[in-house]
Amino acid sequence: MAHACCGPGYASPEAAMQADREKLLYTIALYTGTGIEAPDYLATVDVDPESPTYSQVIHRLPMPYIGDELHHFGWNACSSCHGDSTKSRRFLVIPGIRSSRIYIVDTADAKAPKIHKVIESEEIKTKTNLSAPHTVHCLANGKVMISMLGDGEGNSPGGFLLLDENFDIIGRWENFNDTMKFNYDFWYQPRHNIMVSSEWGAPKTFYPGFDLKDVAAGNYGRQLHFWDWQKHDIIQSIDLGEEGLIPLEVRFHHNPDSTHGYVGAALSSNIWHWHKNNGNWQVSKAVDVPSVELSGWSNPVPSLITDLLISLDDRYLYFSNWLHGDIRQYDISEPANPQLTGQVWCGGLLDKSGEVKGKKLVGGPQMLQLSLDGKRLYVTNSLFSTWDNQFYPDLAKKGSYLLQIECDREGGLSINPDFYVNFGDEPNGPSRAHEMRYPGGDCTSDIWV
């Protein structure tokens, strides 16, 4: 929700928590890798319980090409631009991680967005030698920054792409990335002049699927990088070692004065906490999820922590275990000592979940998005097309779910039995849903400066 008098977003996380309840939700829906020759699309979902189309897809915006693999996406402006009446949260920046195209989508009509501009991959490669766009963050100066996971040929380490307010390419953000072996997610905290980035792998490595041999060969990341936000240089790199393999999503506290944050190491299935102490950034393991022996598997199965987020009041940490099948809620009042307060099962290989509206939950919980007031957690179950096909082959045939989890503000999680969006019944056939955003902003895109 934009406020014309004072620019997009909210003055503070506390103000955001008092905003109106979300009524619409945008999610990426994929045909890439399903065998259906149709373009990926942006789905608009009705999440207003007073609406006759509650829990339904009410609009679909197909992309002009097939095979993009739309993945993570973000806004052109967020609460980092609050106070600037010349800016508005109107455009979604939606990259294709496989095609390296970037789509700019106009949400002036919130229920029926339309394509505003397409940035072609060849232009990006020619001007920056980058490919495989991932995380999108708006900056307080109106520019948009995108983490790029590969060079023009799909090799590591990639870098960071900058777009101006007209969505024209400025160039690369970083000066030097000599200690960065790979790239993935990032989050910035301007009051501390810091940005944190994480590592997945080279596109050439993860595009075909997951191979354990690549881990042994050092082809997946295990480092966190702390950057000087003003100088665009790495000031400290921390190797998480064999217990911190494939660190993915990074999240700072929403309080811009805080130096506390977290990253989930997917393959090692643990959460790491960082903070600044005596001028240096320190990282320590905060949560471990043990692997489980499963019949038919040659190795113990890791939980595979694939997404995490923090509530706007910085009280709760939520994360998803894609292979095991559960979502967890932790009280992080003591940031270095999270306490488990809620758990719910939504599919997974351990087969511990039930049905929702008569539907068996296929796949495992993956992308998360929390309501601004912290009471509702939305979850989808697609990770990445080739990895989906490898670990959950039925997902391509049955399509994704979109669930709503009720979050007790005193601790506890439960599935809303009245909310189930079935992406198995889409007009062009079953599709797979990934990241989600609200028109009014959310816990994983808004940054306060």
Report the domain count for the chain: 1
Q: Select from 150, 256, 257, 137 the least CA-distant residue to 199.
A: 150
**Cut 0.95: pTM above it:** yes
At residue 272, the pLDDT reads 98
- Asked if residue 4 is part of any domain, the answer here is no
Residue-wise pLDDT for 155-198, tens only, equals 999 999 999 999 999 999 999 888 999 999 999 999 999 999 99
Categorise residue 54: left if φ over 0, alpha if ψ from -120 to 50, beta otherwise: beta
At residue 3, the pLDDT reads 39
- Asked if residue 208 is part of any domain, the answer here is yes
Dihedral sign, Cα of residue 218, residue 245, residue 224, residue 250 = positive
Q: What is the mean pLDDT of residues 207-211?
A: 97
Q: Select from 387, 412, 418 the least CA-distant residue to 318.
A: 412
Q: What is the mean pLDDT of residues 415-431?
A: 98
Q: Which residue has the tokens 């040929």?
A: 153
- Asked if residue 449 is part of any domain, the answer here is no
In whole angstroms, give the CA distance from residue 159 to residue 177. Answer: 8
In whole angstroms, give the CA distance from residue 327 to residue 333. Answer: 19
- Asked if residue 190 is part of any domain, the answer here is yes
- Given a cut of 90, whether residue 290 has pLDDT beyond it is yes
At residue 363, the pLDDT reads 96
Q: What is the mean pLDDT of residues 414-431?
A: 98
Residue type, 65: Y
Compute CA distances 134 → 5, 101, 174, 354, 435, whole Å.
32, 11, 16, 33, 11
DSSP of 7-71? BSS-SSHHHHHTSPPP-EEEEEEE-TTTT--S--EEEEEE--TTSTTTTEEEEEEE-SSS---B-
Q: Give the model's confidence band at 7: pLDDT under 50 very low, under 70 low, under 90 confident, else very high.
A: confident
Q: What is the mean pLDDT of residues 95-121?
A: 98
Q: Are 72 and 136 in contact (CB under 8 A)?
A: yes
At residue 4, the pLDDT reads 42
- Asked if residue 186 is part of any domain, the answer here is yes
- Given a cut of 60, whether residue 85 has pLDDT beyond it is yes
- Given a cut of 60, whether residue 2 has pLDDT beyond it is no
- Asked if residue 175 is part of any domain, the answer here is yes
**Mean residue pLDDT across the chain:** 96
- Asked if residue 329 is part of any domain, the answer here is yes
Q: Are 173 and 232 in contact (CB under 8 A)?
A: yes
Residue 156: CATH number of its domain: 2.130.10.10
Q: Are 134 and 157 in contact (CB under 8 A)?
A: no
Tokens of 177: 């990335």
Range of the domain at 157: 13-437
Q: Which residue has the tokens 């940005």?
A: 195
At residue 26, the pLDDT reads 98
